[in-house]
Amino acid sequence: MNTMHDGAVQVVKNCLKIKEGEKLCIITDKDTSEVAESIIKAAKPITDKITLFVMEDFGKRDNPSCPLKFPEEIKITLEKSDVSIYAAGVREGEIDTFRHPMHSVAEKNRIRHAHMIGITEEIMKTGMCADYEKVREVTKKVHNEIKNADMIRVTTPKGTDIQAHFDKNIRWCVFDGNITEDMWMNLPEGEIFTCPKNIEGTAIIDGVLGDYFDEKYGMIKQTPVTLKISEGRVIEISCSNRDLEAELKRYIKTDKNSDRIGEFAIGTNLGIKKIIGNMLQDEKFPGVHIAMGSGFPEITGSGWECPTHVDGVMLNCTIIIDGKKTIMKNGKFLI
């Protein structure tokens, strides 16, 4: 089980659990059309009520200062759908103009939505072909260990040493690939995250950065980004790749909360054996990632908003809960 069709069957049957006759809306782009077609092929034996939209049919996507807006035509179809899939590449600015409005429609209408931003054939053959029963088992075990934590410390051989503190009124969100009407999910899945109350320390992002940075810069093992964090905000950024450093510094000035740590997450997909330079999959790799920007208040209850969100993956993590229990050492789960 390692073909694109196998991954598509997982999307349709294991994660979205599409039922006979349900209305399926698929949003894709020209670069990702083969993935979309494989999902359509997997879904057709179950339902023939499938509508496909290609984003480039609604405007150009090559101008970051004027990103594509979520079209009314797609909105109308999506509102009437039972299930939806977004399988498309990343473009700068579209997180606010296209994806956030799309998610709002899915949430308001309780649509089972699979978000596959930056999906590739490689991911369909790897992360989407993981044993999702195992993913759910591991995710549940990790959640049981961390859900009542007051503080989690993360260290890495490269020099990460952060302490994240948590508010029990802000929810831990479990994303194990079991998509329901109450919770849309990224695919492939396998992570647990929350919005931390506070983070202090130094984070060395030596895996990959999210939003559009992964597509532009790929893996950054050789040019890691150092984040100095104080009172939950990034106060200093340094990187030997000066273009990346300057661009990330500009990014976290987009909004008053763009420099705020909005996400602390643990990847739990044991089917992913290495990072590939694509955040959609790499954030599910066993370990820790944090994000600057939105804390997803609609699901975590964080109480503040931000139009930007950029994740950063740290490799070979050691995770210690409340100074007592180590649940991961050098990237390997101990539970």
Q: How high is the pLDDT of residue 9?
A: 95
Residue 154 has pLDDT above 70, yes or no: yes
Residue 335 has pLDDT above 90, yes or no: no
Q: How do strand 318-321 and strand 151-155 relate by DSSP bridges?
A: antiparallel
Spatial separation of the C-alpha atoms in residues 258 and 276, rounded to whole Å = 26
The predicted model gives 278-299 an average pLDDT of 95
The predicted model gives 212-238 an average pLDDT of 96
Together in a domain, 141 and 76: no
Together in a domain, 108 and 157: no
Domain count of the fold of the chain: 2
Query: What is the 8-class DSSP label of residue 16?
Result: S
For residues 310 and 227, the answer to whether their CB atoms sit within 8 Å is no
Together in a domain, 121 and 134: no
Q: What residue has token string 């009172």?
A: 231
Together in a domain, 239 and 281: yes
Among 314, 318, 280, 316, which residue's Cα sits nearest to residue 206?
314
The predicted model gives 285-292 an average pLDDT of 98
- Using one digit for the tens of pLDDT, what is the confidence trace for 119-139? 999 999 999 998 888 999 999
- Using one digit for the tens of pLDDT, what is the confidence trace for 49-90? 999 999 999 999 989 899 999 999 999 999 999 999 999 998
Q: How confident is the model at residue 92 (pLDDT cuts 50, 70, 90)?
A: confident
Q: What is the chain's mean pLDDT, rounded? A: 95
Spatial separation of the C-alpha atoms in residues 118 and 32, rounded to whole Å = 8
Which of 1-15, 187-201, 228-242 bottoms out in mean pLDDT, i.e. has the lowest? 1-15
Give the domain extent around 249: 130-333
Sorted by sequence, the CB contacts under 8 Å of residue 250 that are 6+ apart come out as none
Together in a domain, 313 and 183: yes
Q: How high is the pLDDT of residue 112?
A: 97
Spatial separation of the C-alpha atoms in residues 24 and 22, rounded to whole Å = 6
Together in a domain, 194 and 113: no
Query: What is the 8-class DSSP label of residue 274?
Result: S
Q: How confident is the model at residue 316 (pLDDT cuts 50, 70, 90)?
A: very high
Together in a domain, 14 and 150: no
Q: DSSP assignment of 56-110, as one string?
A: GGG-----TTSPPPPPHHHHHHHHT-SEEEEEE---TTHIIIIIHHHHHHHHHTT
Together in a domain, 140 and 73: no
Together in a domain, 173 and 319: yes
Together in a domain, 56 and 141: no
Between 183 and 258, the higher pLDDT residue: 258
Q: How confident is the model at residue 2 (pLDDT cuts 50, 70, 90)?
A: confident
CATH number reported for the structural domain that contains residue 45 in this entry: 3.40.1830.10
Q: How high is the pLDDT of residue 52?
A: 98
Put the strands of the sheet holding 191-194 in their side by side order.
173-175, 191-194, 261-267, 287-293, 309-314
Together in a domain, 80 and 169: no
- Three-state DSSP at 20 gives coil
Q: How high is the pLDDT of residue 238?
A: 98
Residue 1 has pLDDT above 70, yes or no: no
Q: How high is the pLDDT of residue 209?
A: 97
User: What is this structure's pTM?
Assistant: 0.84
Residue 233 has pLDDT above 70, yes or no: yes
The predicted model gives 277-303 an average pLDDT of 95
Domain end residue (candidates: 127, 162, 197):
127
Q: How high is the pLDDT of residue 217?
A: 95
